[in-house]
Amino acid sequence: MENVTIRMLAERLQLSTATISKALNNSHEISEETKQRVLALAAELNYVPNPYASSLRKKASNTIAVVIPEVADSFFAEAINGIESVAQEKGYHVLIYLTHESFQKEQAILRDFQSGRVDGVLISVTTETAAAQHGLEQLVKEIPIVFFDRVCEEITAAKITTDDATAAYKATTHLIAGGCRQPVMLSASRHLSISNKRTEGFRQALADHQLPFTAASIIYCSNDTIATHELLKKAIQKEHYDGIIATTEKLATAVYEAAAALHLQIPHDLQVIGFSNLSTAKFLNPSLTTITQPAFDMGKAAAALLFKALKSSSFALPEQQEVIPSTLLIRNSTLAAAD
């Protein structure tokens, strides 16, 4: 059986395609009676409208894109969850693109969006992304876009973030309260604004507690698991850190791995806090103290913002900002009690 089109319905009902179209779209200028007849036949013939014809004509795709570095990370997985929940509710489709931290891939993906493939985009940029070189500034003007979590500072655009500096400050203070004198922060990027904010919170907390901030206070880790493992082991041995703040989920587990390899006891030899949404954090050995980001809510908020913009073209999307706080969950990988 070939595809049922609006024209087939029109012929069978002796109506024009225009009338059918309007009836299907519940236009007020169609009589209740014809609407019913059209709907009935459509149901009977199992009519499903061709989205591409409609998109071509309306210049709207009812589709949004989600562009993220990876999906095998509970933050992003939960964020997608949040995004999808609102997209489904609004009847939108969601395209997903993974950049694998490659700036080039990201650029290629974003470039494609100028085609009108999507009505809007939600993005969390790569560790390599420097807004300047990018067509990003341009794109923001051309298509509704909201950044979440990994945003670009330099750009004026809608952003959903969490309180990175504050969270890092809290984490650091917690470490210090547990007796830590030589904390180190593991960072995933020198460019990312969220990394820099976390660094800033960290630095501030050190300063406020008269602890030195040196070149050894931050370790920049690559996306390469093995290299990171080696780097960590060497650094921990050399610098005798007594506390670590891992700013990504992968880095947190890398620390556990390195500690095991070096026969260091967490938390006694080394306290650990991870920025992580791992549901298993409390079952780790020892259970991991985390800064838990509101991943699901951030996804939801980002999507909600985008849809607001899609609904009313007068909505000043690029001006929008929202910060959703993270929470410090104290467990056994650190020594200080809750305050």
Partner DNA sequence: CTGAAAGCGCTAACAG
Partner DNA sequence: CTGTTAGCGCTTTCAG
Residues binding its own copies (CB under 8 A): 3, 46, 48-53, 55-56, 61, 63, 70-74, 77-78, 80-81, 84, 88, 93-98, 105, 111-112, 114-117, 253, 256-257, 278-280, 283-287
Q: What is the DSSP letter of 321?
A: E
**Which residue number, 117 or 233, has a Cβ lying nearer to DNA?**
117
Q: Counting beta carbons within 10 angstroms of the beta carbon of residue 122, is it exposed (0 to 12), middle (13 to 18) or buried (19 or more)?
A: buried
Q: State the Cα–Cα distance between residues 202 and 213, nearest whole angstrom.
A: 9
Region binding DNA by CB under 7 A among candidate stretches 50-58, 139-147, 261-269, 279-287: 50-58
Torsion 166-172-177-181 (CA) sign: negative
Query: What is the distance in angstroms between the CA of the first residue and the CA of the last residue of the chain?
Result: 69
339 touches, from its own copies, DNA, none (C-beta below 5 to 8 Å by class): none
Number of neighbours of residue 198 by Cβ within 10 angstroms? 27
**Which residue number, 6 or 145, has a Cβ lying nearer to DNA?**
6
Question: For residues 256 and 272, is the Cβ–Cβ distance under 8 A?
Answer: yes
Region binding DNA by CB under 7 A among candidate stretches 23-31, 106-114, 253-261, 263-271: 23-31
Of 25, 85, 114, 237, which one interacts with DNA (CB under 7 A)? Answer: 25
**Which residue number, 34 or 102, has a Cβ lying nearer to DNA?**
34
**Rounded alpha-carbon distances, angstroms, from residue 40 to 26, 30, 35, 85, 218:** 13, 15, 8, 30, 66
78 touches, from DNA, its own copies, none (C-beta below 5 to 8 Å by class): its own copies
- The answer to whether 24 contacts DNA (rule: CB under 7 A) is yes
- The answer to whether 40 contacts DNA (rule: CB under 7 A) is no
Q: Please tell me whether the peptide bond between 267 and the residue prior to it is cis, using omega within 30 degrees of 0.
A: yes
Task: Give the nearest distance from C-beta 68 to its own copies in angstroms.
Answer: 11
- Amino acid of residue 93: H
Q: State the Cα–Cα distance between residues 13 and 18, nearest whole angstrom.
A: 12
**Which residue number, 8 or 323, has a Cβ lying nearer to its own copies?**
8
**Which residue number, 193 or 253, has a Cβ lying nearer to its own copies?**
253
Of 36, 40, 53, 227, which one interacts with DNA (CB under 7 A)? Answer: 53
Q: What is the DSSP letter of 263?
A: T
- The answer to whether 62 contacts DNA (rule: CB under 7 A) is no
Tokens of 8: 């087939």
Task: Give the nearest distance from C-beta 2 to DNA in angstroms.
Answer: 7
Q: State the Cα–Cα distance between residues 43 and 9, nearest whole angstrom.
A: 11
| 3-class SS of residue 146 | strand
**Which residue number, 116 or 318, has a Cβ lying nearer to its own copies?**
116
Site map 131..150 versus DNA, x via CB under 7 A: --------------------
